[in-house]
A and B are shown apart, each in its own frame.
Chain A
Amino acid sequence: MNARPNDTPILRAEHFTKYLSGRKILDDCSISIYPGDVKVLIGPSGAGKSTFLQCINCLLEPDEGEIWLGDRKVDVRNTRELCELRQHVGMIFQDFNLFDHLSAEDNVALAPRKVRGMNKQEALKRAHAELRRVGLEDKARLYPAELSGGQKQRVAIARALAMDPTVLLLDEPTSALDPELVGEVLTVIRDLASHGMPMIMVTHQMEFAQAVATEILFMEQGRVIEQGSPDELLAPGSQTRTQDFCVRLHDLCGGEAAAQE
């Protein structure tokens, strides 16, 4: 996973530092995504995981650091380059953020129409294809308020996919869901991963992370303090901070989380 000097990564975030209200929230964090990578970010609440993710597509502008798309450095002050970066990087939010005034199909079709200039028919056709991919073609006409949490998150995934992202960022995509709805969303994400969609995912679903991740990054107090393959970091008795964290996570909500999988 790690050193592959011959390839260029699809996306590189280098030496990100971010201050919020005078506090250093992100301290020299870097990440590189190669084709087929699934990187899982874990760490305690307040570690800066969401901040890191939002710096990568510049929803929060990092105070220091560079973003590279392939072998091109992105100038995030340039609106055109910024919008282009964001088209390459799809994002899935914890609380879905579907456009409440639009039906599922229009949620998915909006960005292809407005950002990529597709005509309406074309965009809707694409929307239906993406909704089929997440198993929601029959819900195309429903509005967000008429969908369950799991269905909303799957529409959000379809919406991101309709822009042909080269990388997906997922910020705790299942933690706002009722336990019985977590599975359907994880199934979609696992399916994407198995088709080689590169992604960076923040999650506390450790069984899922262990099964899908190519690399786990453990964050604490704004720094990535451990990173490696799940086998390295999670091996019983490996004495890593990651392992320790997962054991405690498991003790806290282990029974429930295990029942999900």
Chain B
Amino acid sequence: MHILSTIIEALPYILEGTLVTLLLVAGALSVGFCLGVPMAVTQVYAPKPFSRLVSFYVWFFRGVPVLLLLFLFYYGLFGLMGIDVGTVGASCLVLGMTSAAYQSQIFRGAILSLPTGQLKAGRALGFTDLQSIRTIILPQALRLSIPGWSNEYSILLKDSAMCFALGTPEIMARTHFVASRTYEHLPLYITAGLIYFLITLAGVTMLRRLEQKVRIPGYNTAGM
């Protein structure tokens, strides 16, 4: 009984953290998307020096632990650059920049999987390359990217728990805070785990719905 009342007492506090977590994930996915799409396009279509630059970015962000990146930017680089966006802002940006590295590779793979004739057909009709990419390539590539993107969502959601280390008041940080006061570690962490589990499930389900909704009639994406 005591356990239950601890959980009920802590729940509003942890749920508030859930909102912060959702904000982190939404923000990071958006940052990652807005950077990832142009990065993928650059890698596939831009001249060597530019695509090299993107490859370097991807190599860096994929090669270093997220936790280290959080510390590196929050305690180091952001300070040097005079950027003060608070713990939530910093977490969003760092997770977003990391996600951009992964998302760009999802989009790049999708772009490369399209038949080259699509771009050719656009060019032959008088489209500029940028127009073709915007109206022909990306609408198809983004559809193909949804399963990979859904994967990225669920990874990012769980990576967001590391922002706890900066003191970002998200699910993990708040659960840890309550647990260290009440010593009810087991039930509290199980509760937090359930919350993560439910958000993952909800997000992945929504993305699967989206995939069905934008599906091209008759187009076979099996095996993607």
Hey, which chain B residues are within 8 Å of A114, CB to CB? 127, 131, 135
Q: CB distance B135 to A100 under 8 Å?
A: no
The 8 A-B residue pairs with the shortest CB-CB distance in the complex, in nearest-first order: A145-B218, A97-B117, A87-B126, A97-B121, A91-B124, A111-B125, A146-B218, A86-B126
Q: For residue A57, which residues in chain B have a CB less than 8 angstroms away from its CB?
A: 124
Tell me which residues across on chain B come within 8 A of A144, comparing CB atoms.
218-219
Which chain A residues in 199-246 approach chain B with CB under 8 Å? none
- Name the interface size band of chain B: 20 to 34
Kindly state whether residue A99 has any CB partner on chain B within 8 Å: yes
B140 at the interface (CB under 8 A from A): yes
- A143 touching B216, Cβ below 8 Å: yes
Q: In the complex, are the beta carbons of B123 and A86 less than 8 A apart?
A: yes
Q: For residue A115, which residues in chain B have a CB less than 8 angstroms away from its CB?
A: 125-127, 131
- Tell whether, in the assembled complex, residue B140 and residue A100 are in contact, meaning their CB atoms are under 8 Å apart: yes
Complex interface bits, A63-79 against B, C-beta within 8 A gives 1, otherwise 0: 00000000000000001
Do the beta carbons of B219 and A59 come within 8 Å of each other?
A: no
A57→B122 CA distance, assembly (Å): 12
A83 touches B127 (CB 8 A): yes
Contact indicator per residue, chain B 203-224, by CB within 8 Å of chain A (1) or not (0): 0000000000000111110000
Residue in B125, B218, B220 whose beta carbon sits within 8 Å of that of A86 in the complex: B125
Listed A/B pairs (22) with beta-carbon separation below 8 Å: A59-B123, A86-B125, A91-B121, A93-B121, A95-B115, A95-B117, A97-B118, A100-B219, A110-B125, A114-B131, A115-B127, A142-B217, A143-B216, A143-B219, A144-B218, A144-B219, A145-B219, A146-B218, A159-B125, A160-B124, A160-B125, A163-B125
Q: Assess the B118–A99 pair: CB atoms within 8 A.
A: yes
Chain B residues 99 to 150 lying within 8 A of chain A, measured CB to CB, are: 115, 117-118, 120-128, 131, 135-136, 139-140, 143
Query: For chain A residues 117-172, which have a beta carbon within 8 Å of chain B?
Result: 142-146, 159-160, 163
CB distance from A154 to the nearest CB of B (A): 15
User: 8 other contacts beyond A83-B126, A101-B140, with CB at 8 A cut-off?
Assistant: A79-B128, A86-B124, A87-B126, A101-B216, A110-B135, A142-B217, A144-B219, A146-B218
Tell me how far the C-beta of B125 lies from the nearest C-beta in chain A, rounded to whole angstroms: 4
**Any chain B CB within 8 A of the CB of A84?**
yes
In angstroms, Cα B220 to Cα A100, docked, is 11
> What's the least CB distance linking A247 to chain B, in Å?
33
Q: Would you give the shortest CB distance from B139 to chain A, in whole angstroms?
A: 5
With CB as the reference atom, state the residue of chain B lying closest to A156.
Answer: B121
Alpha-carbon separation in the docked complex, A142 to B219 (Å): 11
- Give Cα A197–Cα B140 distance, bound, in whole angstroms: 33
- In the complex, A84→B120 CA distance in Å? 15
